Amino acid sequence: MGRTIIDKIWAEHQIADLGDGTSLVYIDRVFLHERTGSVALKELAAANRRVRNPEQVFCTMDHIVDTLPGRGDATRMPGGTEFITETRAAARAAGINLFDLGDDRQGIVHVVSPEQGIALPGVTLVCPDSHTCTLGGIGALAWGIGTTEAEHALATKTLVLRRPKSMRVSFEGALARGVTAKDMILKLIGTYSASGGVGYAIELTGAVVRSLPVEARLTLCNMGVEFGAWTVIIAPDEAVFDYVRGRPFAPRGATLDQAIAHWRTLASDPDARFDRELAVDCNALAPQVTWGTSPQHVAAIDGTVPDPAAEPDQNRRQAMERALQYMALAPGTRLAGLPIQAAFIGSCTNSRLSDLRAAATLLRGRHVAAGIRAICVPGSSQVKLAAEREGLHRVFLDAGFEWRESGCSMCFFAGGESFGLEERVVSSTNRNFENRQGPRTRTHLASPLTVAASALSGHLADPRALPG
């Protein structure tokens, strides 16, 4: 029987079969950030253990740092400065690669990792952050871990894992203008629920996936965890090989040629079998926007808020009712035209150069609606610098957006900067939970195109209605 891409990578990294479905697996790369990195490093040092292969361990400042111009170690999050300074000291003491504030390699961990060539096809990579599955977009087997697991991986370069079930999701058809990878993943979650991928390692495939540029694939994989998946992955191809070539930590010369020859073998075999298969027809897919407090609470931008009374499952019905109460929405409300107070473009989902370019196509020569607070936070310092070389920052600033330094920013609220009480925000982030972007903030997830169109209109808006 043929093997899946996950079977192949797992077999290459399995050190020992421990029985009962568990394996001791080798970890190629570990990536840390300042919210939990200092804890893992300090616990390791307290136990008189050293980081194994520190040259394969990386740390960046992203979760807690302020993104306002002129930032330093001071942060609006209570106690945040200590997180930053202690992580810096622990990383330097351990001799690992540190992308500190002021370093032009700094940025959101899942943006920096592929950008720097740290995440590569076929590698295993872990990080104490749930959206590590983003890196499946270039063919890495990557997943989020806890701080204790991070300590073990740092000391031994191994983890004990229970092998997940396998799933393949095929996205077929073609995307219409104004429809993006963000809309694809929201459609999947909305169709099969936020728990549809629980217990699975998922390969994403199909004609639409193969047509996506690499950065869009990273967006698609980023929200695999919102589908409940252990991880998601896309088989690497020529687009990925071209993307990797020349990255600072990527192989070069003859070594790269050898690597690419191996990466070509990672595709799932034609006769590989999966435990479950799903399909999404993208031909009629419209831009998506969430209406509730879970990514599964989603509908087309030209649709309406559903009626919980039509939901037969009692638990889901009650969750919908609570979501509508929190979001101050009524069944049947049209999503397009719903007034907003703020718009946010950023996060590890949608803050790469291609995302900013896409939003700029709508913003150029226009201005956000009166009273709208609009913010753009590039995903890395490299993205910010590249955008500024292209003049994109002027497009955002002239349109009335704030132009920030890189970081996670208001993707999540941890006591620092946030949106206002009961403000309605359209956001390119990945989670719309209660209080996610601030106390009582009401978040509508959407693509950067939909966020830009909505900021210009002052209400949730269909990007297909605007020329650009």
User: What is d(CA 21, CA 296) in angstroms, rounded to the nearest whole number?
Assistant: 31
CB-based contacts of 301, cutoff 8 Å, min separation 6: 286, 287, 288, 289, 335, 336, 446, 450, 460, 461, 462
Contact 438, 418 (CB under 8 A): yes
DSSP string across 36-91: THHHHHHHHHHTT---SSGGGEEEE--SSS--STT--S--SSTTHHHHHHHHHHHH
**Which residue blocks in 245-313 are alpha helix, DSSP H?**
253-263
For the beta sheet containing 373-376, the strands, ordered from the edge strand earlier in sequence to the opposite edge, are: 401-403, 373-376, 342-345, 424-427, 442-445
Q: Which of 153, 127, 125 is nearest to 138 (CA)?
A: 125
Q: Is residue 317 exposed (0-12), middle (13-18) or buried (19+ Cβ within 10 Å)?
A: middle
Q: Which of 53, 118, 61 is nearest to 89 (CA)?
A: 61
Residue with tokens 């979650």: 189
The strand pair at 158-162 and 22-26 is best described as antiparallel
Q: What is the residue-level pLDDT of the chain in tens, covering all 468 positions?
A: 899 999 999 999 999 999 999 999 999 999 999 999 999 999 999 999 999 999 999 999 999 999 999 999 999 888 999 999 999 999 999 999 999 999 999 999 999 999 999 999 999 999 999 999 999 999 999 999 999 999 999 999 999 999 999 999 999 999 999 999 999 999 999 999 999 999 999 999 999 999 999 999 999 999 999 999 999 999 999 999 999 999 999 999 999 999 999 999 999 999 999 999 999 999 999 999 999 999 999 999 999 999 999 999 999 999 999 999 999 999 999 999 999 999 999 999 999 999 999 999 999 999 999 999 999 999 999 999 999 999 999 999 999 999 999 999 999 987 688 898 899 999 999 999 999 999 999 999 999 999 999 999 999 999 999 987
Q: How far is CA 100 from CA 85, 87, 144, 226, 337, in A?
A: 10, 10, 22, 29, 42
> Residue 116 is which amino acid?
Q
Phi-psi region of 195 (alpha: psi -120 to 50; beta: other; left: phi over 0): alpha
Annotate 262-277 with b (16+ C-beta within 10 A) or e (fewer): ebeebbbeeebebeee
Q: Which of 184, 236, 194 is nearest to 350 (CA)?
A: 184
For the beta sheet containing 14-19, the strands, ordered from the edge strand earlier in sequence to the opposite edge, are: 14-19, 22-26, 158-162
Which segments of 206-297 are extended strands (E)? Answer: 231-233, 276-281, 288-290
User: What is d(CA 255, CA 189) in angstroms, rounded to the nearest whole number?
Assistant: 39
Looking at residue 95, what is its pLDDT?
98
Total-model pTM: 0.97
User: What is d(CA 41, CA 460) in angstroms, rounded to the nearest whole number?
Assistant: 44
> Residue 378 is which amino acid?
P
User: What is d(CA 183, CA 11) in angstroms, rounded to the nearest whole number?
Assistant: 33
